[in-house]
Structure 1
Amino acid sequence: MNRSPDGLPPLRDVIARFELAAKKSLGQNFLLDLNLTSRIARNGGPLDQGTVFEIGPGPGGLTRGLLMEGAQEVIAVEKDQRCLNALAEVSSAYAGKLTVIEQDALTVDFSTLGSTPRRIVANLPYNISTVLLLRWLKQIAADPTVYASLTLMFQKEVVDRLTASPGTKSYGRLSVMTQWLCRAQALFDIPPRAFIPPPKITSTVVRLEPHAAPLAPAEVGALEKVTESAFGQRRKMLRQSLKTLGVATGELIERAGVRETARAEELSVEEFCTLARCYQELKEAKPAS
């Protein structure tokens, strides 16, 4: 049997031996090129301190990349029991450096596991990727030091939204929530042919580095509400789209100092934070019905 650079069997052989056909229901698309997984791992570093978390490792392609690139502690969360034997082989080859948790990543609080600095490096399952990201962003809002960095693979259109500037068609709620808390940098694309099975879309790796403090003061729940309202009707002016917030729209806009005729995509992250603070003030001042 041919061996990979780390001395383990090629991933195609691992998939065949353990019958690990990717499951669409789990959002699985396996990345088999160890050169690519190592490249992702290098961009997720430095890896030689603290804990690196991986979500949905499958047969262990990125897991091996992380360990080959010097990660000292990897905690991988995998809900697909079929993959555990393949991951056990990786764990044996890197004694003491890999822990596999059989659990749904949506139920795991990564901020309580491992040691600092905590980094997340993952080819996220497409069907839960933004849900996981928003959960991690809320943790960063509470404590900017909880994660040193997040290096994640999404559909390209999602990364376009994470990194979009005001005034562009991709700029939206996810742009504001992400950039409020993190510096977001798109790193490189990965074509469909690199995966088994090939998805119908291009993937992109993005690196998020939390700011030392949010760009502007805001309460995370209020900012979520304001951006949801504004971008929920993005073609409408703010004087109309913000009516769903249930406070006096005219007073909110006046307090925030934004134009009532502006549309959501025209506002900066800082202006949305101002809107969120003013919304919170009005909501708290509103007499109980």
Structure 2
Amino acid sequence: MDLTLREHLDAHGLAAKKSFGQHFLLDLNVTRKIVRFAGPFEGRPVIEVGPGPGGLTRALLESDAGKVVLVEKDPRFIPLLNELDDGAGRLTVVEADALNVREDQLVEGPAHLVSNLPYNVGTPLLIKWLTGPWTPASLTLMFQKEVAERVVARPGDDAYGRLAVISQAVAEAKLVMHLPAAAFTPPPKVASAVVHLVPREDRPDRELLKALERVTAAAFGQRRKMLRSSLKQLGGAELCEKAGISPEDRAEVIDLDGFLRLARAFAGIEQPTAPTDGGAVLMRRKKT
């Protein structure tokens, strides 16, 4: 790992591919900062998607991460990434499309995700990791700024929508870093930002999450309409009343708790009752 990243790229005759949404982050000072936001890892494995020339990989290999697993779709970068292996047995390079990978087959036990995601698949990958069967210990992900703002947006924000509700139902989400386009090679047309997400202990189970996806898709699919209209196919005003939500409200003003109540009402799950003995909140299916 004596060559600089730019020297590695030049030596292999590599350049970013627009079709893969590639923009390389070559400044090790910046990648080290991202890894500090992501850690500490305390010896747990880390998965990085779309490492490209390995700028973030180098910082991960300097950290307290255990096994570092790279998932790279572009075969041009596999030889270059393998050169980063220092012989300690920590680095594994997998040539695959991350959208089709089963993360539980890459690592054992809790693992972190740290990635500068390709712009063209960032949102689908986030949804996969938030709603799929495998739950990461944390996610520290770089998106284009517009997507990052949608992940952390609050009711009333212009960026508030379905992605914010789903993300925040599953994880505590925080925007931790902004990067200008000039930080990348080649520079993209937009700025970027890093979001750190930690899965919530009280995240919805599979049934409730599926209902939440249905409700938010309908509500934000017609976000300028009142909920009685946008949710008409799911129950409209009656559904809103069951959830204690005004049918005249619009999706953009409903907070996470309100959407969870709508999802429970849609799925026929009782609204949570306050614990009487310090125990967990109860959620029971309504009898039909």
- The verdict on a shared fold, with TM-score over 0.5 as the criterion, is yes
Contact kept? 1:180, 1:216, Cα under 8 Å? no
Determine whether 1:200 maps to 2:189.
Answer: yes
- Which residue of 22, 33, 36 maps to 1:39? 33
Whole-Å Cα distance in 2 between the matches of residues 102 and 13 of structure 1? 23
Q: CA deviation at 1:254?
A: 1.3
Of Structure 1 and Structure 2, which has the larger fraction of its residues in helix? 1
- Which residue of 33, 43, 47 maps to 1:49? 43
Contact kept? 1:67, 1:94, Cα under 8 Å? no
Q: For residues 1-289 of structure 1, what are the structure 2 equivalents within 5 Å?
A: 7-91=1-85, 93-139=86-132, 146-214=135-203, 219-243=208-232, 246-281=233-268
What is the root-mean-square deviation of aligned Cα atoms in Å? 2.1
Output the amino acid matched with 1:279.
Answer: F
Whole-Å Cα distance in 2 between the matches of residues 116 and 190 of structure 1? 32
Contact kept? 1:180, 1:269, Cα under 8 Å? yes
What secondary structure, in the 3-state scheme, does the structure 1 residue paired with 2:92 have? strand
Aligned length: 272
Output the amino acid matched with 1:21.
Answer: A
Whole-Å Cα distance in 1 between the matches of residues 2 and 145 of structure 2? 31
Whole-Å Cα distance in 2 between the matches of residues 275 and 120 of structure 1? 31
Match of 1:3 in 2: none
Whole-Å Cα distance in 1 between the matches of residues 130 and 231 of structure 2? 24
Superposed CA deviations along residues 87-116 of structure 1, whole A, max 9, x for unmatched, are 11101x253110000111111111332133
Q: CA deviation at 1:158?
A: 1.0
Whole-Å Cα distance in 2 between the matches of residues 53 and 39 of structure 1? 17
Percent identity at matched positions?
A: 48
Contact kept? 2:227, 2:237, Cα under 8 Å? no
Match of 2:277 in 1: none
Output the amino acid matched with 1:15.
Answer: L
Output the amino acid matched with 1:272.
Answer: F
Q: Which runs of 5+ in 2 are unaligned?
A: 270-284
Contact kept? 1:49, 1:117, Cα under 8 Å? no
Contact kept? 2:143, 2:192, Cα under 8 Å? yes
Whole-Å Cα distance in 2 between the matches of residues 131 and 72 of structure 1? 27
Q: CA deviation at 1:149?
A: 0.5
Q: Which TM-score applies when normalising by structure 1? A: 0.89
